Structure 1
Amino acid sequence: MIRSLLLFFLLLSACSKQPSPAQKSWQAFKQEFISIEGRVIDNGNKGISHSEGQGYGLLFAVYFNDQKTFATLWDWSVTHLQTRNDYLFSWQYTPNQGVTDVNNASDGDILIAWALLQAAQRWHNSSYQQAANNILRDIRNKLIKNWQGHKIIMPAEQGFITQPGKLTINLSYWVFPALQEFARVDKSPLWQKLINSGLYLFNTAEFGQWQLPADWLQLDDKITLSSERPPVFGYEAIRIPLYLSWANLLPSEKRKQFLAYAQASQNQLGYLSPKANLLNNSFAEYPANAGFISTYQLIAQKPIGLANISQNKDYYSHSLELLAFIAQQQSIAQ
């Protein structure tokens, strides 16, 4: 009898130490996309690394309480990307060449600063707090423009102004939960103004049959589709409802518009398409990847399953899937 009870408790203990599907997902992400040096590898983009990928990796590491991986990712980011004359990050690193574009990507800077603030709080690390403060200062000073009374996040410090007063923007660079965190820790009123401007743009930039935002927008006298980019809702714009859901800022009426798009795609093609032309309402005729589908599960307020995530071998798809999962967990907890 005693031996049976002992065996039972040993088995119970072993079972309790089994990693969750989410932890397995993080382990798979590390194994597949993070080098031993701490470089997040975008295998769908010729193996380059970029500030966005480093930001995602840092966010995941904080969420899964992985201090060692966070430190490795941060050290690589500082050494190889934070090489400008400010605290922003060069956006692109190419293997065997180094930095191949010193211009920043504003979403990458925002993601990294947000991850640092979370790490500083979770692990009581003041150096991470100071590093975040430095990045926030340069975001405030270098990446913000005014447009018709609204504060606008430029995609980068250089470029994206086609004519005086005509701006090209990417609304998925408004990482709403990050901006909420910045507003809590930084005294500047800018962050709430950016949240307000992002909501205004989101509620105004409605195109096509399903009234969706485009991957890229143009701000001139009014908000239009970018004249220099494809007129599509796709893998960039899908992050807009993801971040809004994360921040508990996605209105039910707008949620219905995204779900109407998904239903129309399913009815016409038999699967969820990841892209729609907002001029002629046509779908890309191939199925969305797992990350895009997970984001739609988040929008639909359905549980996001991660059981098969280890089979997700695309960097961006896997990132979207983890982002959607964490967004769902944290938005529920708020």
Structure 2
Amino acid sequence: MRHALLALLLALTSSACTAAVRDCAWPAWEAFKTQMVSADGRVIDASSPRSITTSEGQSYALFFALVANDRATFARLLRWTHNNLAGGDLGARLPAWLWGRSDDHRWQILDANNASDADLWIAYALLEAGRLWDQPDYTRLAERLLWRSAAESLLWMPDVGLVLLPGRLGFINPTGTRINPSYSVPQLFARFAQVDALWAQVDHDTQRALIDAAPQGFVPDWRLRSWQDGWKPDAQTGLLGSYDAIRSYLWIGMMAADAPGRAALQQRLAPMAAKVAALGRVPEKIDTQTGSVSGTPSSGFAAALLPLLAATQQDDALAAQRAHLHQHPADANAYYAQVLTLFGHGWDQGRYRFAANGNLQPAWAQACPP
């Protein structure tokens, strides 16, 4: 009986999703804009006492605006990022990762270091906006940003290849180099490879590093590449997989069926999908060596696992997490839970897909062309 009910829920949810996409409205994006995006284009994390804005938040919102075919909001987000995080020239200066209210109550950059994943999501959103909206200025800016990111954030490591530093400062030390696996997104690298073949090598090397990072099928938040002893647990976070690592399952789950490396990556991460199926929930924290779990996260984690559950054919677990997401939506002011939901649930609703070459395939391009 339980399996039959889950199958019915899965069918009804899929039917509702198809109908929702057909009219090209995206209520979740509209709600996110109302709650978190200022009139001038700043994504505000209201949970922070400093009302911070991050380059990550700006980059994700640019992507969602493109998925929603929301040109006006895209332009506002880009203008604010350009002026406030990059000193007025996003092509010449990687955006600062953190902006907000300082201790003396001034609104300013709080940390000028970059976040390389945000840099690349901004470049991707610009490239695809240039292509889908026929805006050559976006394409040119994306290419400048991409070259700047390659120059400042890529590092060649012996026996590893090209790796993406999390930022230009603070991640190389006498012990080794800290790497965040969730910063590497195969779809983005595949798209960038259309600009320069360097990124195809980055894609190859980082896919191999991700497989190496998860021998038991669970991705850690951080890893350390020791100068003497190869890959080691990170000194600060150890073997923990949690709020960073959740994105790795999301990215890999959303890979196109014919994308290079998809089968190997999804096979490696299949134990996480099986763990969710066995538990009936997505854990907040997981020991990536033993598989022991703890904590109950926001429903954003459930949304992030939807693509991987679908890809690994965990149909009962997929239906259960869809139901959980429906019954326990993310709090309106919970920034991270909201962006995970827009990514995972938006993909599950069919609002967008990624082609094998990294091109974005938004539903509006077919159902509601501009």
Report the TM range for the smaller structure's normalisation. 0.7 to 0.9
Counterparts in 2 of 1:259 and 1:192: CA distance versus 1, 3 Å:
same
Partner of 1:93: 99
CA contact (8 A) 2:252 2:308 kept: no
**What is the rounded CA distance, in whole Å, between the counterparts of 1:299 and 1:120 in structure 2?**
29
Counterparts in 2 of 1:296 and 1:123: CA distance versus 1, 3 Å:
same
What are the ranges of 5 or more consecutive residues in structure 2 without an aligned counterpart? 1-18, 257-261, 311-317, 357-370
Question: Could you say what secondary structure the match of 2:26 adopts?
Answer: helix
State the aligned residue count.
309
TM-score of the aligned structures, taking structure 1 as reference length: 0.84
Amino acid at match of 2:46: N
Amino acid at match of 1:288: P
Report how far residue 310 of structure 1 moved: 7.6
Question: Could you say what secondary structure the match of 1:89 adopts?
Answer: coil
Q: 1:275 aligns with which of 255, 278, 285?
A: 285
Report how far residue 21 of structure 1 moved: 9.2
Counterparts in 2 of 1:191 and 1:51: CA distance versus 1, 3 Å:
same
Counterparts in 2 of 1:60 and 1:103: CA distance versus 1, 3 Å:
same
Aligned: 1:318 with 2:338 = yes
Partner of 1:7: none
Question: Could you say what secondary structure the match of 2:81 adopts?
Answer: helix
Amino acid at match of 1:323: F
Alignment deviations for residues 46-86 of structure 1 (CA, whole Å, 9 cap, x no partner)? 42101110000000001111011001000000010012983
Partner of 2:126: 116
Amino acid at match of 1:61: A
Q: Give matches, 1:226-241, under 5 Å.
A: 226-241=234-249
Amino acid at match of 2:85: L
Structure with more contact order per residue of length (Cα contacts < 8 Å, sep ≥ 6):
2
Q: Give matches, 1:1-334, under 5 Å.
A: 23-46=26-49, 47-83=51-87, 86-95=92-101, 96-149=106-159, 150-163=161-174, 166-184=176-194, 186=195, 188-206=196-214, 210-220=216-226, 221-248=229-256, 249=262, 251=264, 252-266=266-280, 271-278=281-288, 281-285=291-295, 287-301=296-310, 302=318, 312-328=332-348, 329=350, 330-331=352-353
Counterparts in 2 of 1:116 and 1:21: CA distance versus 1, 3 Å:
closer
**What is the rounded CA distance, in whole Å, between the counterparts of 1:105 and 1:311 in structure 2?**
26
Amino acid at match of 1:43: A
**What is the rounded CA distance, in whole Å, between the counterparts of 2:269 and 2:56 in structure 1?**
26
CA contact (8 A) 1:152 1:194 kept: yes
**What is the rounded CA distance, in whole Å, between the counterparts of 1:278 and 1:237 in structure 2?**
10
Larger Rg: 1
Counterparts in 2 of 1:224 and 1:20: CA distance versus 1, 3 Å:
farther
TM-score of the aligned structures, taking structure 2 as reference length: 0.76
What are the ranges of 5 or more consecutive residues in structure 1 without an aligned counterpart? 1-15
Amino acid at match of 2:62: L
Report how far residue 99 of structure 1 moved: 0.2
Question: Could you say what secondary structure the match of 1:151 adopts?
Answer: strand
Amino acid at match of 2:164: I
**What is the rounded CA distance, in whole Å, between the counterparts of 1:315 and 1:126 in structure 2?**
31
CA-based RMSD of the aligned residues comes to 2.7
Alignment deviations for residues 118-174 of structure 1 (CA, whole Å, 9 cap, x no partner)? 11112211111111011111111111111124101000011111217x110101111
Partner of 2:313: none
State the identity %: 26
Counterparts in 2 of 1:29 and 1:163: CA distance versus 1, 3 Å:
same
